[in-house]
Amino acid sequence: MTRSFAPKLGVWEDPVCGSGHCHVIPLWAEKMHKTEFRAFQASQRTGELYCRMGKDRVMIAGKTALYSVAEIFLP
């Protein structure tokens, strides 16, 4: 079970934080000698993530909700 907070950035509790799992999955992969994890984030909206430790990155899957849409304009 994980939770993610960043009050200095105005994030009192992140609903489901993929970036947070990019930090904890390598730690647990090394400690448990595993490469695949199912993570549950116990925040108000909760969420389940499927994480896999690759050679140099963490792959994350799960159900999502669209948060925002943006376009980048280059002059």
Please write the tens of the pLDDT for every residue from 31-40: 999 999 998 8
**pLDDT in the model for residue 32:** 96
Could you give the dihedral angle defined by the CA atoms of residues 44, 59, 6 and 39, in that order, rounded to the nearest 10 degrees? Answer: 40
For the entire predicted model, the pTM comes to 0.70
CA-based R_g, the chain, Å: 14
In the chain, the DSSP E strands lie at: 36-41, 47-53, 58-61
* Beta-sheet strand order (sheet of 36-41): 36-41, 47-53, 58-61
What are the two backbone dihedrals, phi and then psi, of residue 29, each rounded to the nearest 5 degrees? -60, -40
Domain ranges of the chain: 7-61
The CATH code for residues 7-61 is 3.10.310.10
- Spell out the per-residue pLDDT of the chain, length 75, in tens: 666 777 888 877 667 777 778 888 999 999 999 999 998 877 777 888 999 999 999 999 998 777 789 999 998
